[in-house]
Amino acid sequence: MRIVAVSSGERWKDIEDFIVTSGADLAILPSGWSADRADLAPELSDGKLARLLMELGERTGSAVLASYAEREDERTFASVLLVDGTGRGLCSYRKTHLSAGDEARQLARGNWMTIVPLQGWRVGLALDDDLLHPEMTRCLALEGASLLLGVASFPRPVLRALALVRALENGVPCVLVSGEGVVAAGPDGKVWHDGPAESGLELPASDEGGQDSFATRRRVELYRALMEPLPRS
Domain ranges of the chain: 2-196
2-196 has which CATH code?
Answer: 3.60.110.10
Residue by residue, DSSP assigns 132-180 as G-HHHHHHHHHTT-SEEEEE--S-HHHHHHHHHHHHHHHTS-EEEE-SS
| Nearest of 128, 136, 190, 135 to residue 155 by alpha carbon | 128
The pLDDT score that the predictor gives to residue 218 is 82
The pTM assigned to this predicted structure is: 0.91
Residues of the chain with pLDDT under 50: none
- Encode burial over 202-231: b for 16+ CB neighbours within 10 A, e otherwise: ebeebeeeebeeeeeeeeeeeeeeeeeeee
What is the tens place of the pLDDT at every residue in 34-68?
655 555 678 899 998 899 999 999 999 999 999 99
Q: What percent of the chain has pLDDT over 70?
A: 91
What is the tens place of the pLDDT at every residue in 202-216?
988 766 555 556 677
Q: Give the Cα separation of 85 and 193 in Å (integer).
A: 24
